[in-house]
Structure 1
Amino acid sequence: MQKLLIIFAAAALVSCGNSPTLNGKDSTGTNETHADEHGHGEETVELTEAQARTVGLQTAAIENRSLSGAIKVNGMLDVPPQQMLSVSTPFGGILRNTQLLEGYWVKKGQVIAEMEHPDYIQLQQDYLEAKAQFGFLEQELERQQELSKENVTARKTLQKTEAEHRALKVRIEGLRQKLLLMNIHVATLEKGTIVRAIPVLAPISGYVTKVNANIGKFVSANESMFEIVDTEHLHAELTVFEKDIPRLKIGRKVRFVLSNETKERTATVHLIGREIDSDRTIRVHCHLDKEDKEMMPGTYLKAWVETGAMEVPSLPDEAIVMEGGKYYVFLAQEEPHHFKRLEISTGVSGNGYTEVRLPEETPAGAKFAVKGAGDLMAAMMNAGEAGHAH
């Protein structure tokens, strides 16, 4: 008698090892998950007739429906290259004065710094001397031309004077252009006023984002001293995954929220990139519907790109179950109330339906659990926990 009790107890432990539960209650007999010879689950589950009635189990095939939705993407605020400028001078010098700090707003043409160097004075001196010499050469040229008409002077002398006149004229124009690059007023200089410091002007209106030089520092030619960004022309640069590219169109509306705000803003798709990056994404350039110079470039954002209505294969939302960060549906098998779990990817949603993308091997005309899918998932998970417990 004692040996029979031990055998019955062992048999009970073996039988409960594969008994799944439904909604926390023990199921009897027929609902089960199957495992292959290696012990891996085949992703199948079966309910009894009574259990199917209890959960209101229903199946249906996938249907094409007209759904409109939005693609959720990430991005950042950016500015066009022509709106982000580095300020430098074409001539090296010592920074003698500036009031700029990061965050200051400056206006185009505003004096933002002053530079000094002996070369600046020498250049102005060279220009004035060349101008004085040019006046003399013009008079000499006129005299040689008159003498040439009367055959008093040799033709060679006239040609030499003309060449010297042309060369000096070119030199004066070259010096003049250099002075303009240094923001020196040539008209004032020609009156005899030589300045020792040259102004540095803001090339655009915007915010100062970087200050790379301090007073007293020698700044080399073309070395960046300041960086200025015009935030009035910010745009949203979105990162969109390759699979969503076909759903993008120029002119689509975009809703976005900055990482440091809760206010929703809008933009419009302006350009769609033509090169897929190594992470299988493309860049989408969007123009803001309302400019705001208080926004800062580099701010991260979350966005929703409207996709418009289109015909897509879809199932009711309740047919799709999420588990472990993945989406699943339950494919009906030939046996009654026998289902196989399939991992899928989803697309747009609307009006209680969601676009589904099935594995390629899914048979045509297949039916799926559209009511009771959550209970099927619970039965499968409970069966797995029971299997690990014994």
Structure 2
Amino acid sequence: MKKLLGIILATIMVVSVTACGNDSISSSGNSAKETTTVAETTVSTDKLAWADYKVYNLDQTSKVNNIILMIGDGMGENIIKATEIVKGDKLVMSGMKNKTHVTTYSQSVKEGKEKFTDSAASATALSTGTKTYNGCIGVDKDGNDLETICEYAQKCGMKTGLVDRHYICHATPAGMVAHNSFRGAYKAILGEMVQSDVNVMLGGGSQYYTPSVQKKAESSGYKYITKESELMNLTKKDDKVLGLFAYDNMKNPELSPSLVTQTSKALDLLENDNGFFLMVEGSNIDVSEAELNMDDTIKQVEAFDQSVDYVLAWAEKHPGTLVLVTADHETGGVKIPKNATAKDINNDCFTSGGDHTNTNVLLMADGASSKEICKNKLIDNTDIAKYMRKVLSYKLK
């Protein structure tokens, strides 16, 4: 009987409701709170655990051949510190050799139309080097298409990839490749993404893989997968892959495939002599902060740091790799009590009611050409996009 109950419990679908906070969109395209359903089907055998703190020795001098941009959505500096208090040790990302602070305001904030950026405007800035209005994906304030980082990398002859835990057509991954004045147009955005020639796209949001999107994906040569077993069976012959592993958001960090598994397989598929650009997002740090749930937020940062650990270990063995770890904005207005211990890191540390804030975020950089981007104490998020182009520009000659 216990064995039977175990089988039933292992296969049951758990549905949880999460508030998307300021990274959800109202019909007007402005920031608004929205409830989403998270379908969790299979728990990964890759259990969540702290990555042991280690300082990696990445090549600093070679020309940049690969860029891995890792974005902790809503991951302000204080939530990193709070997580370290709970862990009782530094996070792996804290051992990266170069650091600076980054401003995150959008065009909407600049013009006084909004109080803080959303992920769409921030992703666009990180990808294109141009400020835009909240709710916009890969377009400027006048609605004109901007060249995304994936498009630039492809122009350089590089492969490209996106790894995410929310919808793959959600704001941050979409901002790396798509163009739309309304971030909530998920079907249209996914339809554009499967015509973009991005080699690897892994995340959730299978509800947006409609027959029309499927037709576009198939005509563009994408292999569509929905299971971890299918992911692990891929080889470099599978040049274009779309993996949607959940109907909605993959909020549970142990939901299969884990972020580490997604990241590791993406690296396997993308590695090539001409180099690649890969964006990896810890999507649900922001979602948990918007819910004012500190325990879940800490778990999300923990899972993200696991992936940072894997990426740095990979990059250490692959000279010419630039690793950038940052956030699109801060969420929650996290404040840490003086002389805080682990028990003091709780829901009371949130001070913004779950909203985003304009607090500067960290950029941590390591590997090839990683020092120069951090030479100033403060940069703008658009500078990250410009710097990625700068270190890759030699590929265009």
TM-score norm. by structure 2 comes to 0.16
- Bigger fraction of residues in strand: 1
TM-score norm. by structure 1 comes to 0.17
- Bigger fraction of residues in helix: 2
Computing the radius of gyration from Cα coordinates, the structure with the larger value is 1
